[in-house]
């Protein structure tokens, strides 16, 4: 299990590889992922029958390939996520399904791809059952149920309750079974995901909600999915989630259903953040230091175009300094950390609502590196080309060797597809 973390504000290496060497070899800003951490987090979940990685958290092909080598399968939410899974070596037609599509709609290209490759569909809207049934009668589907409650680290990541667009409302399951019957679709599983970055108390409530819904459907159920949402540690004072207790709750639910239905039920978990957050480091360079009234700013060369979580959710990421002259015991000072974008919200030390906060970090100089940590999940994947900034490079550290797994964008990459009419 992920141990209690202590985050140092000084960092010279990432799992034995020098931050300075990484920055010099690959430039900044660069995301570095430590493959060993991903493997450890997958191993934590070995009790579950199936670990289905929610690739929306980090879908770099090298990460997907590594996740596949650790025995985990994937979830996809779009046609291109399905194609990424194929490109990383996942295949269709296996049991349990190596790729599952979970969404609340189909767009036309995605529906075509799902039908062609017989990718398992986890329906998040009653309409999807009709649309899939018309195109692929006779297949198995699962239902993503909104149990009527949810919880996340931010209101924006709460995916349950009536303010959420996600899932099939819990009291509409009978109607969904009728829709499935119309086209001979068999409902073989249930899935609930109430939010991202939640806690064990909220997650635990899902077991009994799912159990009640499963009883209403009956013996056709052969898989149940606990969804994602497992928290990861972003601050030193947080406690790791009690995975053994979480598994026991789900295993007990599964066993009761097995007893009633008289057959085996496979138990899935669908983490994104838990597998990918801790492994990721965004290495930036401090390009300017300036005093603005009471506030001292470190301005780095990454912005919210590279890591949007602070501006979107007021998310907290640990930070550390890698100075050119190593000093293991530097003097600390309160600083505000911002990026290069032409927008006041481009601040990494902010709270929800956009309030600027400060962070106690080592005294640093222009040219030192600032590392934003626990940034592997929902980091690169949510980046943009705002201000025509290129997307960062991505590096996977495997067996002590850094591999460039995505090149920094060039100007040609950024303008690709644009044209000026004659």
Enzyme catalytic residues? 342
The smaller minimum CB distance to ligand LLP, of residues 75 and 211, is found at 75
Among 160, 197, 303, 362, binds ligand LLP (CB under 6 A): 197
3-state secondary structure of 381: helix
Q: Phi first, then psi: give them for residue 23, nearest 5 degrees.
A: -65, -40
Binding of ligand LLP by 193 (CB under 6 A): yes
- Assess contact for 212 and 254: CB atoms under 8 A: no
Segment 97 to 116, residues that bind ligand LLP, using CB under 6 A: 102
| Residues 369 to 388 in contact with ligand LLP, rule: CB under 6 A | 377-378
Site for ligand LLP in 212-271 (CB under 6 A): 227-230, 270-271
Q: How far apart are CA 11 and CA 9, in angstroms?
A: 7
Q: Which is nearer to ligand LLP, 146 or 183 (CB)?
A: 146
Report the distance separating Cα 161 and Cα 176, nearest Å: 19
196 lies in the binding site for ligand LLP (CB under 6 A): yes
Provide, rounded to whole angstroms, the least separation between the CB of residue 38 and ligand LLP.
13
Quick one: tokens of 232? 């990861």
**Least distance (Å) between residue 304 CB and ligand LLP:** 12
Query: Cβ closer to ligand LLP: 313 or 369?
Result: 313
With respect to ligand LLP, which residue has the nearer C-beta, 62 or 145?
A: 145
- The C-alpha torsion from 240 through 194 and 248 to 199, rounded to 10°, is 20
60, 255, 289, 354, 402 from 396: Cα distances, Å:
10, 39, 30, 32, 6
- Find the binding residues for ligand LLP in span 312-351 (CB under 6 A): 313
Q: What is the per-residue binding string for ligand LLP in 15-54, x denoting contact by CB under 6 A?
A: ---------------------------------------x
Evaluate whether 127 touches 168 at the Cβ level (below 8 Å). Answer: no
Residues 384-413 that bind ligand LLP (CB under 6 A): none
- Considering the rule CB under 6 A, would residue 310 count as an interface residue with ligand LLP? no
Given a contact cutoff of 8 angstroms between Cβ atoms, the answer to whether 345 and 311 are in contact is yes
Binding track, positions 144-183, relative to ligand LLP; x by CB under 6 A:
-------------x-x------------------------
- CB of 301 within 8 A of CB of 285? yes
Which of 19, 57, 51, 40 is closest to 370 using CA atoms? Answer: 19
The first and second tokens of residue 148, run together, are 């009527």
Q: How far apart are CA 146 and CA 311, in angstroms?
A: 28
50 in helix, strand or coil? Answer: strand
3-state SS, residue 300:
strand
Region binding ligand LLP by CB under 6 A among candidate stretches 6-14, 189-197, 235-243, 255-263: 189-197
| For ligand LLP, the closer CB: 227 or 362 | 227
**Shortest Å, Cβ 281 to ligand LLP:** 16
DSSP character string of 46-107: TTSSEEEEEGGG---HHHHHHHHHTT-EEEESSHHHHHHHHHTT--SS-SS-SEEEEES---
Helices vs. strands in the chain: H and E counts, helices first: 12, 22
Site size for ligand LLP (CB under 6 A):
23
CB of 25 to ligand LLP, least distance (A): 28
Contact predicate 228/272, CB 8 Å:
yes
Give the range of 90-98, 272-280, 289-297, 388-396 binding ligand LLP by CB under 6 A. 272-280
Q: Which residues bind ligand LLP (CB under 6 A)?
A: 54, 56-57, 75, 102, 157, 159, 193, 196-197, 227-230, 270-274, 309, 313, 377-378
């Amino acid at each position: 299990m992920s141990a209690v973390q202590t985050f140092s504000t000084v960092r010279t290496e990432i799992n034995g590889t020098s931050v300075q060497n990484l920055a010099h070899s690959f430039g900044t800003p660069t995301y570095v992922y430590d493959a060993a951490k991903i493997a450890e987090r997958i191993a934590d979940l070995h009790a579950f029958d199936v670990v289905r990685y929610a690739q929306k958290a980090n879908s770099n092909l090298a990460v997907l390939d590594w996740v596949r080598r650790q025995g985990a399968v994937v979830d996809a939410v779009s046609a291109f996520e399905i194609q990424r899974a194929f490109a990383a070596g996942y295949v269709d037609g296996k049991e349990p399904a190596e790729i599952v599509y979970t969404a609340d709609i189909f767009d036309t290209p995605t529906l075509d791809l799902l039908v062609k490759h017989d990718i398992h569909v986890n329906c998040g809207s009653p309409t999807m059952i009709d649309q899939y049934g018309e195109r692929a009668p006779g297949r198995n589907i699962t239902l993503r149920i909104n149990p009527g409650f949810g919880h996340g680290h931010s209101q924006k990541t709460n995916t349950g309750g009536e303010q959420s667009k996600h899932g099939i409302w819990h009291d509409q399951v009978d109607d969904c079974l009728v829709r499935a019957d119309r086209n001979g679709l068999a409902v073989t599983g249930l899935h609930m995901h109430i939010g991202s970055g939640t806690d064990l108390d909220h997650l635990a409530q899902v077991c009994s909600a799912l159990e009640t819904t499963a009883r209403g459907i009956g013996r056709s159920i052969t898989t149940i999915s606990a969804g994602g949402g497992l928290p990861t540690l972003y601050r030193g004072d947080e406690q790791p989630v009690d995975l053994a207790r979480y598994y026991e709750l789900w295993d007990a639910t599964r066993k009761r259903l097995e007893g009633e239905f008289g057959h085996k039920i496979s138990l899935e978990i669908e983490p994104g953040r838990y597998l990918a957050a801790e492994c990721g480091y965004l290495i930036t360079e401090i390009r300017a230091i300036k005093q603005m009234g009471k506030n001292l700013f470190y301005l780095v060369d990454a912005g919210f175009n590279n890591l949007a979580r602070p501006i979107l959710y007021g998310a907290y990421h640990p930070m550390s300094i890698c100075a050119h002259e190593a000093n293991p015991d530097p003097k600390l000072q309160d600083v505000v950390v911002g990026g290069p974008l032409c927008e006041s919200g481009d601040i990494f030390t902010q709270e929800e609502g956009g309030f600027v906060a400060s962070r106690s970090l080592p005294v640093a100089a222009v040219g030192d590196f600032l590392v934003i940590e626990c940034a592997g999940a929902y980091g690169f994947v949510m980046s943009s080309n705002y201000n025509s900034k290129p997307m960062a490079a991505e590096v996977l550290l495997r067996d002590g060797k850094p591999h460039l797994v995505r090149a920094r964008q060039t100007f040609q990459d950024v303008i690709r597809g644009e044209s000026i009419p004659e």
